[in-house]
Structure 1
Amino acid sequence: MFLIYLNILVLITKHTLGVCTVDNVRDSQGEISINQKYIYCRFENISSNFYPKIKSFFDYYNSDRLEWLEISNTDNRILSSVALGRLPVHDLRIHDANIHEIQPNAFSEVKNQITRLSLKNNKLSTVEDYYFEDLSLTDLDLSFNNITSIHEDSFLNSARNLETLILKNNFLSELPPRLFQHNHYWRLTHLDISFNKLVTFHDQIFFSLQSLVELRMNNNDLKYLDENIFSTNRKLNYLYINDNKLHSFDNLNLATSIIRLINASHNAIHFLNFSNNVDIETLDLSSNGINKNFSLANATISHLLLDNNNLESTHDTFFTYFPSLSDVSLANNKLKQLNPNLFNNIKRLTKLNLAKNYLRSNDLSNVPKLLNDLRLSSNNLTEITFQSLHGFKHLQVLHLDHNQIRKIALGSFKDLNQLTELYLSSNKFTVLDMGVFVGLNSLKYLDLSYNDLHQISGNIFYNLRALKVVNFSKTKVKYSNLEEILIHLPNVEQVGLADNDWACSRIVNIIHKFGKKVIDVGDYNITNVEGVACHYEEIVAKNSVSLNRSETTINIDRVVSKFDTIVVLLIFLNVMFGFILLLTGIYLSFKFISFISKSNTRNNYSITNYDQELEL
């Protein structure tokens, strides 16, 4: 009970007094920067005495070394100028502070200091024109609030220097038509209005944003976009319109002739036509319900994503107008066969993803030979014939996992001299024939997991000298087989052994005897060796290290066990024989006693008769 009261007291103290600390800035990789620091205040109310509390930090570290001031987990419904004071900071972040309203001139004392302002995760419902009137910002983040309306002059004073504006995860159903209609927004490069409730835009709303590089308007309720809405955004490189309700684009006018990414996935687009030829590096049209009648014109595309659609088949001209395609993904469709002429016009195709369809083994003959990455996971492949992969001399990555493959013909991989990764997991292999891996001289990664390979010879792997990782998880591979295999694979660094029901000592022996690492699968909640589940075995020979001696001991135990069984059986027969003899003895004894008794009775009767005769 005392501990409960103590915790409550600590919590109250924190909320009353607040906690401010100085910490090192970390980069995107988590590396610490010794010379860059920031102030982090939790449970600290933003009041008139806030700045005096943290002034010592600025005096000690020098404001130039302090990257930002972050205030969070507090309760300040109204933000005022009295509360902020004269904070000598360029980057101010007030998060989770329950701010509902910003008073006029709230930032007047810091207008010459703050250039980056973040007010995310608060309770702002509107953005008034006076909220940021004193500031000249480069970055403004108002995400994760309750904003339903924005005044058209809300960002006007900051417009000349504003580069990034984030309004995502609010409740905006519309934007004021003149929100960006001033020429002051010439520096804005990143605009994020995603995850709102926007239904449509004024056709000229983005006209003034001529420096815009990235526009995120995904996850709204957009059904229509005017064909000229992006006609002045000459520097637009990244356009996110995914997860809306868009149906088509007819003569979409893009001011830029080159754009790196258009993400239009998760819509209902069946027709996409550009007014002028556009060079698109990546076009994502996944999850649009696209079928073979889909139309796409006036675009030069390098990477085309058509995953998760309704494609059951394709006609000869489906890719005719896209000769520059280098990467096509048709994963998770309903393709039952590949049109023989489908890829004839694509001369630069190097990566093809056909995973999660219904393709059969004979469809491999219709796949382009110049690929360096081919993915056929989760199809209906049943075998790999001698001709299936003939001519794939540039192939580096091959996924054949999660199929029904029972046999790979000898010589199937003979042309795959450049292959570095081969995935054969979750098939129906039981035996791999000698010579099956001929040609795979550059192979570095081999996945044979989840196959029933209870019979496998180490000699099969004799030519895989470059192999670094091999996965035998859930293959029923035996220790004796693996020992033989690893002799032929001197450069292997990692071995997958999960789900093979091995004794822990055998896995340890693989690590120490061969110097290999096992692939960690995270089985740390049970008996394991480096994340691979295993079980203890009964050690008969004390201090036995050699597994061969251990196996010999196990064989001796089996012989002893058989001998003990015979002995027990003989003892049982002896006991039964003795018991039968005992019963026979008792029976004969009773018979003998009965006979004597009857004899005595007769004798007595005879004597009595004789006495009677004498008396007479």
Structure 2
Amino acid sequence: MNLTKSAILAVSIFCIVVSQVNCDAKDETTTVKPEAPKEKIKLKDSKLCKKCNCDFDDFLLDCSEKVEEWLSAEEWEDLTNGDVVFKTIKLEHNNITTVPILPTYGVENLYLANNLIDSIAEGAFQNLTELTTLDLSHNKLTSKVLVPDVFKGPYTQNDFSALENLKTLNLGYNDLHTLDADLFEHIPHIEELVLCSNAFHVIDRLSETAISGLASLKTLDVSYMEIDDLPETILHGPRDLETLIAAGNLFHQLPKALNRATNLTSLVLNQNPIDSLVEDNVFPPLTKLTHLSMTYMTKLFKIGPGAFSELQSLTELILSDNELLNEIDEEALSKNVTGGEYLDYPPLEKLYLSNCNITTLPRKLLVRWDKLKALDLRYNPWNCDDSNDYLINVLIEQINRTTTVLAKNVQCATPTTLKDVELVRVANEHMMSSSTGSLIWIGLLVVLLIAVPTLAGAYVMKRRGCFGVFRRNDSGASSALYNRTSFNEDFHI
């Protein structure tokens, strides 16, 4: 009996196996009809493009001030299945409060500025693998919300990969006070980072670690962060940094971190309370720096010798609107590079000194003034005496010839006889004052010195009759008698 049951069981298994083989063979020979691809949605006729501005020429979707919340599932469906891929999406000036995980889409530039965003889902951007620019400025992001996994990329077999293409990240105007040390681990190729107008007060060790780890960083904006210095090693990692914007902070001295910014080409230090550039508070060697801006420095009054000497590639120097600045040393720019007889100067093309308190422009500040394409000297209390002879006799004419608008409102403050007179007029009319008085008075004195003796001599000669030859009706005797009498009278006088 047991044998019979075993045989039956064996036969059953055999049938099942044979049946499965036959089924597999049938599957191999059966052609499965593929699913028809979804028909692309014509975005031009979609509800989304009726609500937002769809610029198909520039591949731009602009929903700024158009939506109350995040795009709906239906709207994202239209986008992901649309007949056009928008490379730029703007969702600015709305009331968006949170950013969820976004669907797969080929957007490159995503602008979310000027919303009320205070939370972002982890991996929110992981499906946007083409993303190059992300603007999260002017929101309510805190350091607690901004964690590294917010920026993690798509999931791979072992881990989340990086968002390789993200190059620009704007976090300005939020509520950040520090950065997670690993904040940028999923976006290591950031080239432009904006942190402006976050009240950090100090860049702590965690923030320094995060920033210094961005080896590809080229532009860093740390302006208006209420910091009084930069950590000395913060720029050690981003060795390719080209632009540093550190305006509106509390620097009293030039940051020592500049010593490591060897590839810097543009530096903005506007609105910092630095009072002078003298002695050891001068710029370190920045051999590639071409643009320097130091405006609205409310305490800056003196630029001493060697202040800019190590900036030998400088082409544009902006020192405007420093209302206390009244002294620029003639050796502020020069450097003896070769150790020889002659000094070297940067190849300045633009120099802006408007609205300061400068009275005299040193002739030796530059050698090739004629190379300047723009020289702005407006709204300064200029001395119109021989201390400014080069400015009045040469430079103002050059300014008027190359950029006429910059020659206006360049006026004398002293002497009082020339107060508010434009330098162009002083130069054209030769009105410049010397150290002992104006040329007008010198001219009058010269006239008096020449004219008075001449008139006196003419009068004497007339009394002597020397002009009698021109008289037609007088007789010779009468003339002789008159002349002798006149002579005697003059003699007794």
Gaps of 5+ in 1: 1-84, 98-114, 433-448, 462-616
Partner of 2:313: 348
When the two structures are aligned, how many residues end up with a matched partner?
338
Aligned counterpart for 1:157 among listed residues 104, 116, 136: 104
The reply to whether residue 411 of structure 1 matches residue 360 of structure 2 is no
The superposition leaves residues 555-612 of structure 1 with CA deviations (integer Å, 9 ceiling, x where unpaired) of: xxxxxxxxxxxxxxxxxxxxxxxxxxxxxxxxxxxxxxxxxxxxxxxxxxxxxxxxxx
Cα pair 2:330 2:363 within 8 Å, conserved: no
User: Any residues of structure 2 matched to 1:470-509 within 5 Å, and which?
Assistant: none
Alignment of 1:171-570 (within 5 A): 171-180=116-125, 182=126, 184-200=127-143, 201-208=146-153, 209-233=163-187, 235-246=189-200, 247-248=202-203, 249-251=207-209, 252-257=211-216, 259=218, 261-269=219-227, 270-272=229-231, 273-292=234-253, 294-297=255-258, 298-299=260-261, 300-314=263-277, 315-316=279-280, 318-333=282-297, 334-357=299-322, 358-361=324-327, 363-368=329-334, 369-370=345-346, 371-384=348-361, 387=364, 392=369, 394-407=371-384, 409-412=388-391, 420-421=402-403, 423-429=406-412, 451=421
The one-letter code matched in structure 2 to 1:366 is A
Are the counterparts in 1 of residues 300 and 325 from structure 2 also a CA contact under 8 Å? yes
Alpha-carbon distance in structure 2 between the residues aligned to 1:293 and 1:346: 14
Would the alpha carbon gap of residues 453 and 325 (structure 1) be closer, same or farther in structure 2, given more than 3 Å must change? closer
Q: Cα distance 1:322–1:386, how it changes in 2: closer, same or farther (>3 A)? A: closer
* Contact 1:93 1:119 (C-alpha < 8 Å) held by counterparts: no
Name the amino acid aligned to 1:166.
Y
- Bigger relative contact order (CA 8 A; separation at least 6): 2
> Is contact 1:356–1:378 with CA below 8 Å preserved after alignment?
yes
Change (3 A) 1:388 1:412: farther
Query: In 2, Cα distance between the equivalents of 1:459 and 1:353?
Result: 31
Which structure dedicates a bigger proportion of its chain to strand?
A: 1
Identity of matched residues, %? 24
| SS of residue matched to 2:120 | coil
Q: Which residue of 1 aligns with 2:18?
A: none
Give structure 2 stretches of 5+ with no counterpart: 1-40, 54-58, 154-162, 335-344, 432-493
Q: Secondary structure at the match of 2:237?
A: strand
Matching of residue 132 in structure 1 with residue 115 in structure 2? no
Which of 351-360 and 247-256 deviates more?
Answer: 247-256
Indicate if the aligned counterparts of 2:407 and 2:424 stay in contact, CA closer than 8 A. Answer: no
- Contact in 2 for aligned 1:406/1:427 (Cα 8 Å): no
Give 1:310 shift.
0.9
Alpha-carbon distance between aligned partners in 1 of 2:275 and 2:98, rounded to the nearest angstrom: 45
8 A Cα contact 1:198 1:221, kept in partner: yes
Q: 1:361 to 1:187 in 2, by over 3 A?
A: same
- CA 1:338–1:457 in structure 2 vs 1: closer, same or farther (change >3 Å)? closer
Report the secondary structure of 2:329's partner residue: helix
Q: TM-score, normalised by structure 2?
A: 0.59
Q: Which moved more, 1:382-391 or 1:142-151?
A: 382-391
Cα deviation 1:449-495 (Å, max 9, x = unaligned): 9646797685769xxxxxxxxxxxxxxxxxxxxxxxxxxxxxxxxxx
- Post-superposition shift, 1:318? 4.1
Higher helix share: 2
CA contact (8 A) 1:231 1:253 kept: no
Contact 1:218 1:241 in 2 (8 A): yes
Instruction: Give the AA of the match of 2:113.
Output: K
Task: Give me the whole-angstrom Cα distance separating, in 1, the residues matched to 2:169 and 2:289.
Answer: 25
**Of 155, 158, 167, which residue of structure 1 is paired with 2:112?**
167
Secondary structure of 2:240's counterpart equals strand
TM-superposed deviation, 1:171: 0.6
User: Taking structure 1 as reference, are residues 352 and 428 closer, same or farther at Cα in structure 2, changes over 3 Å only?
Assistant: same
Kept in 1, the 8 Å contact 2:381–2:414? The answer is no
Distance 2:147 2:217 in 1: 25
Alpha carbons of 1:229 and 1:274: their partners in 2 closer, same or farther (altered >3 Å)? farther
